[in-house]
Amino acid sequence: MAAGWRDLRGILALLVVGSLVGLAGCGGDDDGAGPQTLSWFIFNEPSGGPPIAAERCSEQSDGAYAIEFEFLPADADGQREQLVRRLGAEDSSIDIIGMDVIWTGEFANAGWLEPFTGEAEQVVSENVFPSVLETATFEGQLYAAPIWSNTQLLWYRSDLVDEPPETWDEMIDMAEEIGPQEGRIQVQANRYEGLVVWANQMIASAGTEILSGPEEIELEQEPTERALEVMGRLSNSPVRDPAITTSQEDSGRLAFEAGNSAFMINYPFVHPSAEENAPQIFEQMEAAKYPAIEPGIESAPPLGGINLGVSAFSESKDLAFDAIECLVQPQNQLEIAELGGLPPVRADLYDRPEIEQIYPGFADLIRESIADATPRPSQSPAYQDISLAIQRAIHPTTGIDPENPTPTYEELEDKLEQAVNREGLL
């Protein structure tokens, strides 16, 4: 049987990484006889895009450096844990850090990142969406260079729905009319970071924010309770997934491909997956913008992605900055998007004709969603505590009473108060 799209991307990644290891092994000597080895710590993104970008930049450095990969665990918690341990020990073997967008505040506050200044700051921030730059900034200083972004769309079946819903209530109404056999709604509501994403976007879409500053809670009661009301309504509706309390991105993808769901909130990776795994569903699969809470008020879609930072303990900081300036160049962003479906962070790249081939029919939706996105409150050094507080307060979402969300609101506010009054987890 022919290799699937994931298998081909994984094979490509292994081939390119192998060539990079050989290249790095030829240099990096203390006597300066060869290129300086730069260690890039990042998870093993399976498409092969980052290794190709690293190989290109190594070649373009004219022998100044060779980028070598140190792969982190596949799950985000494991990635952060390993980086925290190494950086906390002032490990000089780390040069370039591939960071989840929610780590900037914590890492910068701990003194683990070198700030971007001068020409480097200008190069890595050129034409980058303001929402994305916000994830790379701490206390007004740029500490990371965005290399790829991500956002969620509303995916729906056009054979079951004539026009996509504009609000969550409208979507639930449509789904209930279809019925639970085909009308389920897929979201991420397990007790993990995906639930924090859902809660943050619902609260922001309702017109308030979780924090107004690194240590100041906003969480205006009326809009927050409205967001919780909608979450509780879906979670107790017959069209929720029966396993909603453990639902994640991949379980939602599989359920949608199985044909029992009319709607799904998820990232763009589900599009090529359905094309390969469920062609009949794929033929009816359409995309729309993240639903709003209230009619006529724009929603606040999620924002994910990876930013690159220079370790404060690197012995090759100048070269690491040079390498990052190269890695985030348009050609590399476009190739990463083509191979892995990971959206570029530069707004001007969405005017390129190849973007429509990468995201057929929904490229403009991705651009609009990233532009309108509200990041999670990760500028706070206490973000890990904040994330856990949100998870503990609202999970399981089936426990949110849509008729009276006030108790959940009060618990959320109380746990957030405890979180922001602690130092960030190091």
Please state the domain extents for the chain: 5-150+303-372, 153-301+382-420
DSSP 45-83: -TTSHHHHHHHHHHHHTTTSEEEEEEEEPSSHHHHHHHH
Give φ, ψ of 323 to 5 degrees. Answer: -65, -40
Bridge partners for 285 per DSSP: 157
Give CA–CA dist 366/380, Å, rounded: 27
Q: Which amino acid is at 74?
A: A
Question: Fold for domain 153-301+382-420?
Answer: D-Maltodextrin-Binding Protein; domain 2 (3.40.190)
Nearest to 426 by CA among 140, 112, 113: 112
Are 27 and 33 a contacting pair, CB within 8 Å?
Answer: yes
User: pLDDT tens string for the chain (426 positions)?
Assistant: 333 334 434 433 444 444 443 444 344 444 556 899 999 999 999 999 999 999 999 999 999 999 999 999 999 999 999 999 999 999 999 999 999 999 999 999 999 999 999 999 999 999 999 999 999 999 999 999 999 999 999 999 999 999 999 999 999 999 999 999 999 999 999 999 999 999 999 999 999 999 998 889 999 999 999 999 999 999 999 999 999 999 999 999 999 999 999 999 999 999 999 999 999 999 999 999 999 999 999 999 999 999 999 999 999 999 999 999 999 999 999 999 999 999 999 999 999 999 999 999 999 999 999 999 999 999 899 999 999 999 999 999 999 999 999 999 999 999 999 999 874 443
Question: Fold for domain 5-150+303-372?
Answer: D-Maltodextrin-Binding Protein; domain 2 (3.40.190)
